């Protein structure tokens, strides 16, 4: 700030005059109880901003002054202004030095730190990638990549992930610290502070991020090459049966035996020894989840190969393994998923739910296309669908019973299903086909049932009826005809 004031002292009389105007305006806003922005000198000053007549340093000075007003007792004043316009105009200024630009972007991003939904995904990505370009490091590159995912800029996401991987591998760990109290010489603490699993799983986790972006950007060959770099759990194999799933699964089960999963206690209420055990369990839990995600992405690669029977089988085999891994959480680790000190976060839990729904339904669609008369008569495909989704449905039902407070987060299938359909681009006809099988299962009188849930059943029917009608291809015509014969 001292350097900024020194720079201002060397500016032209016109700039100094604008600075004096800003001072008067902010003092008035801070002290006058009847202050109205629209009846002050602000509108004329803002008009000059819109006409690009203000020096960049004046814009910075105004933003700083306005934000100090936001902390005063006279805030909010009448007709409060939108400071975002000032940030946008500042960042459009030609010749703005990198230090000023970086400072401005970081300050701007603070407004969206706890409310990401209030900014357009593409705009957020644009801001974060500027930070990564000016100040390249692991955190900034990964932050830009995560914003790019929401904006669906997958090709650029791959680039920022690779840059992040490079900085993580080559940079001194002490530079990874984002202000948290961690031991920079403890690789597990450094990794966890950056959202990666400890226990040596950092590289594994970063590769998964890269492969996801490569699959989403349709660069399936590149994704397969990245798989070949993973030297864990036989993931470089083309056969799902060759994957070593037992090792990470058994480790997670072994580490889940920490003393007391007390849902009433937060992580920080445990002693240091138990905290370390919980962290080790969460690392193992994350590793299993990443393994499931990688199996899902390998399935998508097989799907892209061209649709031969062998490719479709490979697609289904990898998705079956992914679904089995996701269900491991709901069956073997259900006590830890949604409650307790090792519980997944809301976003992580919803991610797991959506992936479980997607893999279970996609396998079902594959099976009904190939089912025999006997399978149709015995309802084998629907039995498999029920088996794959029941652990999730049961866990969410029980969790919902425990969430009696209005502020408690409830995971609702009727809300997560449309998100899953949009996220994984499930065609409306395929979604309708799955719902035709699922809806009757929420009736206790049904032969295959999740249990009675009339409200959810009605909500799913409403959602089914809202799906757009597509013009079916020849293959889809056959599936629709088959569905009508099967379900009436």
Give which of 431, 326, 445, 337 is closest to 387, Cα–Cα: 326
Which sign does the torsion angle of CA 373, 375, 376, 381 carry?
negative
Burial of 410 (0-12, 13-18, 19+ CB in 10 A): exposed
Kindly state whether residues 91 and 7 are assigned to the same domain.
Answer: yes
The predicted pLDDT at position 7 comes to 74
Q: Is residue 280 part of a domain?
A: no
**Residue 217: exposed, middle, or buried by beta-carbon count in 10 A (0-12, 13-18, 19+)?**
middle
Regarding whether 226 and 136 lie in a shared domain, the answer is yes
Same domain, 99 and 140: no
Any idea which residue has 């490569």 for tokens? 214
Q: Does residue 33 form part of some domain?
A: yes
Instruction: Say how far apart CA 180 and CA 172 lie, in whole Å.
Output: 16
Q: Is residue 6 part of a domain?
A: yes
Containing 122, the helix (H) or strand (E) segment is helix 121-134
Q: Are residues 141 and 176 in the same domain?
A: yes
Spatial distance between the Cα atoms of 368 and 388, rounded to a whole number of angstroms: 15
Residues 291, 245: contact at Cβ < 8 Å?
Answer: yes
Residue with tokens 């009508």: 484
**For residue 217, what are the CA distances in angstroms to 133, 153, 223?**
22, 8, 10
Looking at residue 36, the DSSP 8-state letter turns out to be B
Residues 107 and 7 grouped into a single domain? yes
* Residue 243 forms part of a structural domain: no
Domain boundary among 212, 231, 250: 231
**Distance from C-alpha of 143 to C-alpha of 194, rounded to nearest angstrom:** 10
Q: Is 318 helix (H, G, I), strand (E, B) or coil?
A: helix
Q: Specify whether 94 is located in the same domain as 24.
A: yes
CB 323 within 8 A of CB 389: no
The parent domain of residue 63 ranges over 2-111
Number of domains the chain contains = 2
Q: Residue 476 falls within a domain, yes or no?
A: no
Of the CA atoms within 13 Å of residue 463, those in its CB half-sphere come to 23
**CB 255 within 8 Å of CB 280:** yes
Listed residues 192, 209, 231: the one ending a domain:
231
Instruction: Note whether residue 245 is domain-resident.
Output: no
Q: What is the pLDDT of residue 474?
A: 47
16 and 106 in a single domain? The answer is yes
Report the alpha-carbon distance of residue 319 to residue 245 in Å, rounded.
14
CA separation for the pair 362, 341 (Å, rounded): 33
Do 107 and 131 fall within a single domain?
no
Buried/exposed code over 74-92 (b: 16+ C-beta within 10 A; e: otherwise)? eeebeeebebeebbebbbe
Whole-number Å distance between alpha carbons of 163 and 39 = 50
107 and 10 assigned to the same domain: yes
In a domain, 412, yes or no: no
pLDDT at 424: 92
Q: Is residue 203 part of a domain?
A: yes
- DSSP type of residue 457: H
Instruction: Name the domain boundary from 86, 111, 136.
Output: 111
Q: Which of 179, 230, 3 is nearest to 97 (CA)?
A: 3
The DSSP secondary structure of 368-420, one letter per residue, reads HHH--HHHHHHTHHHHHHHHHHHHHHHHHHHHHHH--STTS----HHHHHHHH
C-beta separation of 142 from 161 below 8 A = yes
The number of residues in the chain equals: 488
Buried b (16+ CB within 10 A) or exposed e, 419-456: ebbeebebbebbbbbbbbbbbbbbbeeeebebeebeeb
Q: Check: CB of residue 57 under 8 Å from CB of residue 4.
A: yes
74 and 8, same domain (yes or no): yes
Q: Are residues 144 and 226 in the same domain?
A: yes
Rounded-to-integer distance, Cα 270 and Cα 37, Å: 51
Residue tagged 């955190």 (tokens): 139
Expressed in angstroms, the distance from the first to the final Cα of the chain is 73
Q: Note down pLDDT in tens along the chain; length 488 residues.
A: 567 777 777 788 898 899 999 999 988 888 888 899 999 999 999 999 999 999 998 999 899 888 887 666 777 878 888 889 999 999 998 888 898 899 999 999 998 887 778 899 999 999 999 999 999 988 889 899 999 999 999 999 999 999 988 887 765 444 444 445 545 555 566 566 556 666 666 778 888 999 999 999 999 999 999 999 988 899 999 999 999 999 999 999 998 876 655 555 666 677 788 888 888 888 899 999 999 999 999 999 999 987 778 888 889 999 999 999 999 999 988 877 887 788 888 889 999 999 999 999 999 999 988 777 677 777 889 999 999 999 999 888 888 777 666 667 788 888 999 999 999 999 999 999 999 999 998 887 777 777 788 888 999 999 999 998 866 554 455 455 544 544 44
What distance in Å separates the CA atoms of residue 65 and residue 83, rounded to the nearest whole number? 11
> Are 40 and 88 in a shared domain?
yes
Give residue 198's pLDDT. 61
């Amino acid at each position: 700030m001292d350097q900024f004031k020194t720079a201002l002292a060397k500016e032209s009389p016109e700039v100094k005059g604008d600075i004096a105007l800003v001072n008067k305006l902010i003092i008035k806003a801070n002290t006058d109880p009847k202050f109205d922005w629209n009846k002050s000198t602000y509108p004329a000053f803002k008009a000059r901003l819109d006409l690009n007549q203000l020096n960049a340093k004046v814009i910075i000075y105004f933003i700083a002054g306005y934000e100090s007003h936001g902390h005063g007792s006279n805030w909010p004043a009448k007709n409060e202004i939108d400071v975002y316009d000032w940030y946008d105009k500042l960042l459009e200024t030609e010749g703005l030095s990198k230090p000023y630009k970086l400072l401005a972007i970081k300050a701007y991003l603070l407004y969206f730190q706890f409310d990401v939904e209030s900014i357009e995904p593409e705009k957020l990505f644009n801001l974060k990638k500027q930070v990564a370009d000016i100040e390249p490091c692991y955190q900034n590159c990964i932050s830009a990549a995560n914003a790019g995912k929401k904006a669906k800029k997958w090709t650029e996401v791959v680039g920022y992930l690779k840059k992040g991987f490079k900085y993580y591998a080559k940079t001194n760990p002490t530079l990874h610290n984002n202000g948290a109290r961690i031991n920079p010489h403890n690789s597990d603490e450094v990794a966890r502070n950056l959202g990666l699993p400890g226990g040596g799983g950092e590289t594994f986790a970063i590769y998964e991020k890269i492969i996801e972006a490569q699959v989403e950007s349709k660069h399936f060959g590149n994704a397969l090459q990245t798989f070949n770099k993973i030297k864990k759990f036989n993931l470089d194999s083309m056969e799902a049966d060759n994957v070593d799933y037992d090792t990470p699964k058994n480790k997670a089960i072994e580490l889940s035996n920490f003393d007391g999963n007390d849902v009433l206690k937060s992580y920080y209420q445990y002693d240091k020894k138990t905290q370390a055990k919980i962290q080790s369990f969460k690392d193992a839990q994350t590793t299993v989840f990443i393994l499931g995600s990688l199996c899902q992405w390998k399935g998508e690669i097989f799907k892209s190969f061209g649709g031969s029977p062998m490719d479709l089988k490979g697609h289904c085999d990898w998705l079956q393994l992914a679904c089995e891994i996701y269900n491991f959480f709901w069956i073997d680790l259900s006590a830890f998923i949604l409650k307790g000190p090792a519980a997944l976060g809301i976003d992580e839990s919803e991610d797991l739910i959506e992936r479980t729904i997607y893999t279970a339904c996609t396998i079902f669609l594959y099976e009904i296309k190939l089912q025999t008369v006997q399978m149709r008569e015995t309802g084998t495909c629907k039995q498999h669908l029920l088996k794959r989704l029941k652990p999730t449905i049961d866990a969410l039902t029980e969790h919902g019973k425990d969430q009696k407070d209005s502020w408690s987060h409830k995971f609702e299938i009727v809300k997560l299903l449309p998100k899953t359909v949009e996220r994984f681009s499930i065609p409306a006809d395929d979604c309708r086909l799955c719902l035709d099988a699922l809806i009757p299962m929420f009736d206790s009188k049904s032969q295959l049932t999740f249990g009675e849930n009339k409200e959810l059943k009605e909500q799913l029917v409403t959602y089914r009826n809202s799906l757009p009608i597509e013009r079916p291809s020849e293959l889809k015509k056959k599936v629709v005809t088959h569905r009508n014969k099967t379900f009436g």
